[in-house]
Amino acid sequence: MHLFMRCYLAILLISGAMGNLATANRADVHYRTALAYHALEEFDRAVAAYQKAIACEPNSFNVHLHLGVAYSELKQYQAALAAYHKAAQLSSTNAQPHYNIGLVYLKQGKLPLAREAFEKAIALAADFEDAYNGLGEVLMKQGALADAARVYTKATRLNPNGIAALAGLGKVYAKQKRLPLAIDTFEKIIAIQADNTAAHYHLAQALMKSGEQEKAAATMEFFKVLRQTALLLEEAQKWVKTRPADAKGYNNLGIVYLARRRADKAIQNYQRAIALAPTLATAHYNLGHAYHKQGKLHLAIAAYQRAISADANLAIAHNNLAVCYMDRQALDKARFHAKTAVRLAPDEWNYWDTLAQVQTLLGLNK
């Protein structure tokens, strides 16, 4: 072969390789763009970007799978099923597409098809916890309660703290009128996730049927708080997702979590707010309040003091510091901060009450 011809073929091969690489790169760019829109819950835009990725790389398992999820979020279920079936063809041993197919059929009320899909997912991955949960829900809806309990129990063995499996199991027990088991299961969920709205509702119902009216009423009251704050939580979560540098957004999210008795999540968000804005006095105060509710007085005192350092006129921080110092029997410090709180906010009767308690402990009210 002539040298010229060899050089020409080499150029063609290199050009072809570079073309393939450029196509792959474009597919990756579109896929990453789609994932970003997906994370922001802009599913129409995500679908458009996934389709562009598929145009560049038609046989990407991940793109088809995520495309199906986006279609499902848009309630375009036939399109979702088509994407999942394509993903299943591209990776015949992967259980995830079959599980997702089961979810679509479950949403459509097509229980036999949903059951078949979940069973296929389990056949491919015997430790697929979510597939057992899906199958358990189908069986419960079909009235096969004993089978549903068996499947949910299998899921709890795979993950003892799996909330979905425990919730399903609790509902099965309630339907079977095994109320002590139902109550125990819903209480376990709440111990894992204190603001699980559904668990509080079902627990209240089970307690009521068991004759524990007072406890049922208290549980139902907190269930109402959870329902009332659900939209606030969703909005606050979306706010920090779209404005990750906004310290006040994290502070507000922490407030919502604390109202929902999720002190752990509240503390995380207050700390994030403080990292972004170290002089944000309200974030330091709220952090102290969260620690105070947990009984961690040394951490609460430190946070309240930082709040006062950032804003010496924050009366509520002075008041709460006084309460902490009373609990620690540091009464002189308690009196100083109680008096400061009253001076800064003389119309707040509870600050006067704190001061009166300190004065009594010091013997100054005799």
**How far apart (Å, rounded) are the C-alpha atoms in residues 123 and 141?**
22
The pLDDT of residue 363 is: 87
This prediction's pTM: 0.79
The pLDDT of residue 25 is: 82
> Using the 8-state DSSP alphabet, how is residue 328 labeled?
T
Band the pLDDT of 9: cuts 50, 70, 90. Answer: very low
The pLDDT of residue 26 is: 86
**How far apart (Å, rounded) are the C-alpha atoms in residues 129 and 52?**
33
- Tens of pLDDT, residues 220-238: 999 999 999 999 999 999 9
Mean pLDDT of 150-174: 97
Per cent of the chain over pLDDT 70 is: 93
The pLDDT of residue 7 is: 46
Dihedral sign from CA coordinates of 199, 200, 201, 206? positive
Per cent of the chain over pLDDT 90 is: 89
- Tens of pLDDT, residues 276-294: 999 999 999 999 999 999 9
- Tens of pLDDT, residues 132-142: 999 999 999 99
Mean pLDDT of 180-201: 97
The pLDDT of residue 40 is: 86
The pLDDT of residue 3 is: 41
The pLDDT of residue 364 is: 74
Mean pLDDT of 19-27: 64
- The total of other beta-carbon atoms located within 10 Å of residue 138's CB is 26
Phi, psi of 263, rounded to the nearest 5 degrees: -60, -35
Strand, coil or helix: what is 95? coil
The pLDDT of residue 305 is: 98
The pLDDT of residue 34 is: 87
The pLDDT of residue 177 is: 96
CATH class of 1-92: mainly alpha
Q: Which residue has the higher pLDDT, 92 or 10?
A: 92
Band the pLDDT of 144: cuts 50, 70, 90. Answer: very high
Give yes or no for a contact between 140 and 148, defined as CB atoms under 8 angstroms apart: yes
- Tens of pLDDT, residues 291-348: 999 999 999 999 999 999 999 999 999 999 999 999 999 999 999 999 999 999 999 9
To 10 degrees, the CA torsion angle through 190, 191, 193, 194?
70
Band the pLDDT of 20: cuts 50, 70, 90. Answer: low
